């Protein structure tokens, strides 16, 4: 059951410049593990000691996982996951 993941500009060097990738996973944590198998290095950019970095947000459809169940947030077929890191350019 693939989940569509939207990859931010900053992480695209790790996904061979793909803006969207399809990954399977029952929870956000599992999704990140599987993404890292396919695209090594991505987990380190998202997680810090088993929790999300505090400068990266993850949305399942429109829901910020911090307000659902963090990395335990359950995914279902057809969900869209968006990774949104903080940027400061001006």
Residue 37's SS3 state is helix
Pairing of strands 80-85, 2-6: parallel
The yes or no reply on residue 26 touching other proteins (CB under 8 A) is no
The yes or no reply on residue 41 touching other proteins (CB under 8 A) is yes
**Is residue 28 exposed (0-12), middle (13-18) or buried (19+ Cβ within 10 Å)?**
buried
Of positions 2, 24, 66, 74, contacts other proteins by CB under 8 A: 66
The yes or no reply on residue 17 touching other proteins (CB under 8 A) is no
Which residues of the shown chain bind other proteins in the complex (CB under 8 A)? 8-10, 13, 40-41, 45, 53-57, 59, 62, 64, 66-67, 84-90
């Amino acid at each position: 059951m693939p989940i569509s993941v939207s990859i931010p500009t900053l992480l695209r060097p790790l996904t061979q410049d793909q803006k969207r990738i399809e990954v399977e996973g029952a929870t956000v944590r599992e999704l990140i593990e599987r993404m890292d198998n396919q695209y090594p290095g991505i987990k380190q950019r998202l997680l810090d000691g088993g929790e999300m970095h505090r400068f990266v947000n993850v949305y399942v459809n429109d829901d910020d996982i911090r307000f659902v169940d963090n990395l335990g947030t359950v995914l279902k077929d057809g969900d869209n996951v968006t990774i949104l890191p903080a940027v400061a350019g001006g």
